[in-house]
Amino acid sequence: MKVGDLVEYMDCSCMRNKEYKYEYYPSGIYGIVIGRDVTQMPTTRWHDGQISSDPDHRLRVISEASDG
Protein backbone atom coordinates (compact mmCIF):
# COMPACT_ATOMS: atom_id res chain seq x y z
CA MET A 1 0.00 0.00 0.00
CA LYS A 2 1.24 3.46 -0.85
CA VAL A 3 0.12 7.06 -0.47
CA GLY A 4 -2.86 7.79 -2.70
CA ASP A 5 -4.28 4.26 -2.81
CA LEU A 6 -8.06 3.96 -2.42
CA VAL A 7 -8.78 1.37 0.28
CA GLU A 8 -11.77 -0.29 1.91
CA TYR A 9 -11.91 -1.12 5.61
CA MET A 10 -12.49 -4.82 6.25
CA ASP A 11 -14.79 -5.89 9.12
CA CYS A 12 -13.51 -8.71 11.30
CA SER A 13 -15.82 -11.62 12.07
CA CYS A 14 -16.53 -12.20 15.74
CA MET A 15 -15.89 -15.95 15.50
CA ARG A 16 -12.83 -17.81 14.26
CA ASN A 17 -13.04 -20.29 11.36
CA LYS A 18 -11.93 -23.96 11.37
CA GLU A 19 -8.27 -22.89 11.10
CA TYR A 20 -8.74 -20.62 14.17
CA LYS A 21 -8.29 -17.48 12.08
CA TYR A 22 -10.58 -14.48 11.82
CA GLU A 23 -12.35 -13.86 8.53
CA TYR A 24 -12.64 -10.36 7.08
CA TYR A 25 -15.57 -8.92 5.13
CA PRO A 26 -15.97 -5.74 3.06
CA SER A 27 -17.54 -2.93 5.10
CA GLY A 28 -18.30 -0.38 2.40
CA ILE A 29 -16.16 2.22 4.22
CA TYR A 30 -13.66 3.81 1.81
CA GLY A 31 -10.67 6.05 2.32
CA ILE A 32 -7.37 7.27 0.88
CA VAL A 33 -3.96 6.29 2.29
CA ILE A 34 -2.22 9.55 3.26
CA GLY A 35 0.97 8.19 4.83
CA ARG A 36 2.41 5.87 7.47
CA ASP A 37 2.57 6.30 11.24
CA VAL A 38 5.58 5.65 13.52
CA THR A 39 4.77 1.91 13.59
CA GLN A 40 4.64 1.86 9.75
CA MET A 41 0.89 1.16 9.63
CA PRO A 42 -0.99 2.97 6.84
CA THR A 43 -2.64 6.22 7.91
CA THR A 44 -5.98 6.63 6.14
CA ARG A 45 -8.39 9.55 5.72
CA TRP A 46 -11.89 8.09 5.56
CA HIS A 47 -14.88 9.42 3.59
CA ASP A 48 -16.29 11.03 6.76
CA GLY A 49 -13.07 13.02 7.37
CA GLN A 50 -11.75 10.86 10.20
CA ILE A 51 -8.10 9.77 10.17
CA SER A 52 -6.88 6.43 11.55
CA SER A 53 -3.98 4.01 11.42
CA ASP A 54 -4.89 0.38 10.82
CA PRO A 55 -2.92 -2.81 10.16
CA ASP A 56 -2.45 -3.77 6.50
CA HIS A 57 -4.64 -6.87 6.86
CA ARG A 58 -7.64 -4.69 7.83
CA LEU A 59 -7.45 -2.73 4.54
CA ARG A 60 -8.12 -3.89 0.99
CA VAL A 61 -6.77 -1.90 -1.94
CA ILE A 62 -9.60 -0.91 -4.32
CA SER A 63 -7.55 1.27 -6.67
CA GLU A 64 -3.79 1.88 -6.75
CA ALA A 65 -2.37 5.37 -7.12
CA SER A 66 -0.25 5.93 -10.20
CA ASP A 67 3.44 6.80 -9.87
CA GLY A 68 4.50 10.23 -10.94
- 4-63 pLDDT, tens digit per residue, is 999 999 998 778 888 888 888 889 999 999 999 999 999 999 999 999 999 998 999 999
Domains of the chain: 6-63 (2.30.30)
- Residue 42 · residue 56 · CB < 8 Å: yes
Question: What is the pLDDT at residue 68?
Answer: 58
The pTM for the full model equals 0.81
- Residue 30 · residue 45 · CB < 8 Å: no
